Structures are given as C-alpha cells and as structure tokens.
Structure 1
Amino acid sequence: MHYKWQFDVVKYRKYAFSFSIAITILGILFLMIFGLNYGVDFKAGTSLDITAAQSIDKAKAEQIFHDAGYEATVTLGGDNNTRATTRLDRVLNTDEINTIINQFKQAYGDNIVHEENTVDPGIARELGLKAIYAVALSSIGIIIYVSIRFEWRFAISAVIALLHDAFIVISLFSILRLEVNLTFIAAILTIIGYSLNDTIVTFDRIRENMRFSKTKTFEDLSKLVNDSIWQTMTRSINTVFTVFIATILLLIMGSESIKLFSLAMTFGLISGVYSSTFIAAQLWLLLKRNSLKRASAAPVKN
C-alpha cells in the first residue's frame, strides 16, 4: 500500500534515539531510587481473596485488617464489589488467616469464601531468578535465530529493540508503582514475541529489497530502509491494532487478576511498533553504513 502522507523515517532517527535514551535514563533513575513494586509472587507474603454475599466496603475491609494488626490496601472486584483482594508482606499462618476471616463473617455474614496464596522467601527468590533466566534465554535464542536467518547486524539490532521494549514497560511499571508479578513476566515475554514478529517482517523486506538494488552510498541505503518500512507499515498497523483492541477490552472488562497483564501488553504493543520502525531498522542502517565505508575505503586490486 502506498501512503501519500508518508515521511522520511530515517531522517528523524536521531530524534527517536534521543527520545529512547531519555526514557531509558529516566527509567534507570526510577529503578535505582524506587525499584519495582514486587507482588507476592516475588517476595515473601500472603495473598488473600475474600468473597462475600454482599457488597464489601473498601474502608471497612481495610479497617478489619488494621484491627487484626496488618496495614493492607484492599482492591475490590467481582459483581457489585463482592470480592476483596489484598497482598500482605508477611506469611500468615492458619490461625492468623482464620482470625481475619472471622472478622469478615461478623461484618458480612457467614457466607464468606476465601482463597489464600502464600509464597515463602525461598520460593520468591527462585521465581525471581527463573524470570531473569527466561528473559535472558529468550534473548539468546533470538540472537541465534536471527543470525542464522539473516545476519549478525540484524540480530544485534533486533535484540537491542526487544530489550528496549521490555525496559520501557519495566520503567513505566516502576514510575507508576504498578505491581510486578508472574503475569507481568508473561506479558514481557509475549511483548518480546510480538515485537520480534514485527521487526522480522521489516527486516525480511529490507533483505528482499537488498537483493534487487545496488546500494553504493549511505543515501541509497537510507532510501531502501525507508521504502521497506513503508511497504510493511500496513501489515504492522493491522497486526498491532488487532491485538491492541483485545488488550484494551481485557483491561476494561477483564477480571482484576489480568488487568496488569493487559496494561503491560498495551504499553508493550505501542513500544513494539515504535521500536521496529524507529530503533531496529535504524540501528541496522548504522551498522550497515560502517560496512559501506570499509568497502569504499578498501584498495582496488588490479
């Protein structure tokens, strides 16, 4: 599809790089100062979901926890706010949980159903390490795959773009103080997959156009990259927009347990379509420019 309003993407690469660097620095500062708001999956504690037959008042529920000796922030959910969810930094034993449940029964009747999830310190550390391993191994696999299918310049550019997308989402969760749990890790890995798919499509078109072009100068290479981006723009927009609609609907209409997953996916999709256009392709262009310079500087053999 030919866009009448298309612009020279390559021309604005320095602005894109500056924007990404600024976001990265801001994210690093927030992570160093505030860190991440880890959920119970990555630190020792107990998660409680309490469901009543009637609507639960948030202030009253938090007062029940306060009276039991815990400072808790309660999130309401379910039909007519009949479910109260909280995360406690302490591992509660059976007696402590029963004390809280009995208080809720006194306030909202005997028809109380509860679900508890407890993570001890050892499991929390293990989950954290496995999450890091999952992201690291996926990045290594991507480097190997893209290097075999394309070349090392494509591989390096793709991985930097993917790490850029993951870090953008991590930074936003740190800045907004959103909870990081196992669904967040699932969202990061899913974002990497979607971003890689979009990047590979653009790279595939660049490689195809390289076969039928005679790029001798950086200007020729820039035009090829810009044309390749716009030739795949329709597919990228359609793919991202379709998934974007699904994530927005899940964010608005989904249950409380998947809202953070949907929010992370929303952030990641926006970052992914941006990085495949303004980061990955532009990084490859800069790496390829160095090879053109070496080729032009090489002495001509008689």
Structure 2
Amino acid sequence: MSRLGNIGAKLYRGEVGYDFVAKRMLWYGISILITVVAIAGLGFKGLHMGIEFQGGALFTTPPTSVSVEQAKEDAKAASGGHEAIVQQLGNGSLRIQVGGLDTASATPVTEKLAQDLGVPAEKINTQLVGPSWGQDIADKAWTGLAVFMVLVVIYLAIAFEWRMAVAALIALIHDLTITVGIYALVGFEVTPGTVIGLLTILGYSLYDTVVVFDGLKDGAKDITKQTKYTYSEIANRSLNATLVRSINTTVVALLPVAGLLFIGGGVLGAGMLNDISLSLFVGLAAGAYSSIFIATPLVADLKEREPQMKALKKRILAKRAAEAAKGDAGQGDAGQGADAPEDAVAAAAQGVVSPRPGRGRSTQGKRR
C-alpha cells in the first residue's frame, strides 16, 4: 500500500487525525474574509456581462497581424465610442465583441473594421445578439438555482436532518458567492458558458459534504447511549475518515478543468472554455474547502446546542475528569514506593511492575 493509502487507512480507523472541528472559529474567520473580498470585488468592479445579456455584435476576423490593443482602439473608433472586448484566437484571427450595436449600425462598423485591420469585409463574420435572449437565459438560470436549492434542503432534511440541510445550504451559498466574486475580480466575461459552469458546480459542491454527512449519521447513531465521544468528536472522526478520499476526488476533478482553463483558454484563446472552466475551477476548489472546513463544523455547532448533546458532553467530561484524577492518584502511589523514578520508568518499559514497599521484604523473609 502506498504512503498516502496508509495515511488514509489510519485516518479511517481513527488512529491519526486533525481536529478540524475544534478549530472551526479559525475556518469561519477565513471564510468570512474570503467572502467579504469576493463581495467587495462584486460591488466595486461588478460583473462584466457579455453581449448575450446586454445585446451587441460579435465580429470574427480572418488571421491578421494587428495587435489586440490596436484592434480595441480600432473597434472603439469604428463603433462610435463603444467599449470593445478583443481576444486573439489560436490561428491568429481576432474575436471582437462590441456591446450596444444594432443591425443598422453593425454593417458600417464591419466595413470600418475591415479597412482599419487590413482584411476583406466579406471575410469578417458578424453575429448580432439581442439582449432579450440573454435575459431569458438568466431568468431560467435563477429559476433553476432556486428550485435546486429547495430540493436539496428538502432531500437533506429527510435523508439526514434539518441541521445538516442548513449547513449544506450555507456551504453552497458560500461557494457560489466566492465563485461569482472571483469572476468579478478577474474580469472575465459573463456568458451562457458561465451560467452553465455555475449550475454545474452545485452538484460538485454538495458531493463531498453528503459523503461526510452519511458517515456522521452512522457514527452518531445511538450516540446518547455511550460516554466515549461527544458529537463534535464523532463529526471530526467522520471528516478525517473521508479526508483523503475528498482530496483525491477533488484533485482528479481539478486537473482536467485546469487544463481547459490554462491551456485551452489561456494558450489557445478559446473564449467559451475560459467562461466555463474558470467557474468550474473556482467552484470545485471552494466546494472541497467548504465540505471540510464549513459544513461539518457548522453541523457540530448546531448539534451541540441540543439539550441532549449538552448533557452527553457534560457526562463525558465528568467521566474523563474522574479517570484523570484516578490515574493521577495511581501514579502518586507508585511514586511513593519508588526510590528512583528512572528505575520505575525502566521497569514499566520492560513490562515489570515494582512491588510495593514491604512485600519484597516479607517474601524474602518467608524464603529464608
């Protein structure tokens, strides 16, 4: 078995682990900070809506030697001052997007672009998009998102309990907020591909969370009938048992998405790949983070507020305190009968228990 496999087996059996739940206030603080930055980016920079949502024209030119910056200036001048988004495609052609253009103004802009870029006007592919089409997509996306969240809450409340449903919903909103905020900070264009990516990450965001919740449900069965572990400790054990699995699945999912984002979008210049892959990459990473650091600690927080869990925790702490006091008393008795602490440690290491004072002498007397 590999080293990672050995660690995973030890995590599953509870032999090793990291106390994620005990440090939950740290994770909450980090998440709040990231969320505030994302919301600030969304508020100050805003989303860069594509022509599918605001209407406009899309010009695709044949291969040209004109730079992207020069093409932006030419497109802005040709369209009468409208801001243009220019992307260079892999074959040297340019993708020029200008918002706010209608059918009447698109033809003169095409001719002016052809003149400035030094390409034939008939070789420029022009596509016009009305804002109503993009608005229809946005409305359906919001409707789908609302229906999805309602169904998720209902399912989790039935399959597990309402506290897990609340925690999963908060983690989901956390992931969406971070993804949209980073989209605004990066300045990528919001297109139907972005909407597809955002809707896709919803399922991935809940995947690891549901797996941990399933293990937690089994581990917490008849929890009040034992006095060994509190609910938070069982939640942490369940989280550690699936930690390596969550990391492996997340890395495997992120690798192809990273290839789409950095190679397909960055090197080859495929605009649609950028739109989908960025939302998928950020959403997958945020979903893995929230399932480990947000959802499970939040469930433990909510559950520990129950009177039964408070009483259980009180009994467990009292039992541990009594056992610790008994152990200290036993160590005190052993220390009184030992002339040298080093000898007692050496004897214990060899599995030999030193006799109490007097026993050795009486035994020796009998032998004599």
TM range (shorter): 0.7 to 0.9
Q: Which amino acid aligns with 2:181?
A: S
Q: TM-score, normalised by structure 2?
A: 0.72
RMSD: 2.6
Decide whether aligned partners of structure 1 residues 110 and 91 sit closer, same or farther in structure 2, where only a CA change above 3 A counts: closer
Greater Cα radius of gyration, structure 1 or 2: 2
CA distance in 2, matches of 1:57, 1:24: 37
**Per-residue deviation, residues 222-265 of structure 1 (Å, max 9, x unmatched):** 21111101111122112111110010111123222111211111
| Contact preservation (8 Å) 1:217, 1:292 | no
Are 2:253 and 1:243 aligned? yes
Question: Residue 280 of structure 1 corresponds to which residue in structure 2?
Answer: 295
- Structure 2 distance, partners of 1:177, 1:54, is 26
State which of 24, 33, 39 in structure 2 corresponds to 1:28. Answer: 39
In structure 2, C-alpha distance between the alignment counterparts of 1:267 and 1:221, rounded to whole Å: 31
Give the equivalent residue in structure 2 for 1:269.
284
Inter-partner Cα distance in structure 2 for 1:171 and 1:5: 36
Matches within 5 A, 1:69-108: 69=80, 70-79=82-91, 82-93=92-103, 96-97=106-107, 99-101=109-111, 103-104=113-114, 107-108=118-119
> For the Cα contact (< 8 Å) 1:64–1:104, is it kept in 2?
no
Question: Which residue is 2:319 aligned to?
Answer: none
Q: How many residues align?
A: 293
- Residue 43 (structure 1) aligns with: 54
Kindly report which structure 2 residues correspond to 1:1-302, keeping only aligned pairs within 5 A, or say none: 1=8, 2-3=10-11, 6-48=17-59, 50-68=60-78, 69=80, 70-79=82-91, 82-93=92-103, 96-97=106-107, 99-101=109-111, 103-104=113-114, 107-109=118-120, 112-120=123-131, 122-211=132-221, 213-214=223-224, 220-254=230-264, 255-292=270-307, 296=311
Question: What is the Cα deviation at residue 30 of structure 1?
Answer: 3.2
C-alpha contact (below 8 Å) 1:91/1:119 kept by paired residues: no
- Unaligned stretches of 5+ in structure 1? 298-302
The Cα shift of 1:214 comes to 4.5
Q: Taking structure 1 as reference, are residues 118 and 215 closer, same or farther at Cα in structure 2, changes over 3 Å only?
A: farther
Q: Deviations over 1:58-112 (max 9, x none)?
A: 2342343234224423111122xx2212322213315523541564267034672
Residue 169 of structure 1 contacts residue 268 of structure 1 at CA under 8 Å; is this kept in 2? yes
Q: SS in structure 2 opposite 1:78?
A: coil
Query: Does the 8 Å contact 1:66/1:72 carry over to 2?
Result: yes
Aligned-residue identity in percent: 28
Q: 1:256 to 1:151 in 2, by over 3 A?
A: same
TM-score in terms of structure 1 length: 0.86
Structure 2: unaligned runs, 5 residues or longer:
1-7, 265-269, 313-368
